[in-house]
Amino acid sequence: MLDFYSISDQEGQPEYPNEDNYIGSIGLNDFKSVHDLIEHTKTLGLEIGYYIDFRIKKSEVSKMYEFAKFQIKTVPQEKKASYRKFLDILEEATVNLNSGLICFCD
């Protein structure tokens, strides 16, 4: 699982996640299904992978969210549930919490 937690851009890099900031998780199959979104993150200069821990700044989360909102309208039906999971995580971070994300692979 790839676990997502909210984090302020001003916070330092934690060694372990703060469970109080847990937003959600996606599995490997969902991660593979949102390949177009993951590829888009490279244009933002991000390195996102399923087997690595990574951090995404608030402004980058917002850009990913906008891209995912557009993409979900055009993805095949069999990928929509995976996109919805990822979109919900991005929405929670950017819209509801106004934060970045830190992701830990477990």
Q: Classify strands 22-26 and 54-56 as parallel, antiparallel or unpaired.
A: unpaired
Chunked into runs of 10 residues, the chain (106 residues) has average pLDDT values of: 96 90 96 89 87 94 92 92 95 95 92
The structural domains of the chain, ordered by start, are 2-105 (3.40.1760)
Helix axes 77-91, 58-71, angle to 10 degrees: 150
pLDDT of amino acid 69: 92
pTM: 0.92
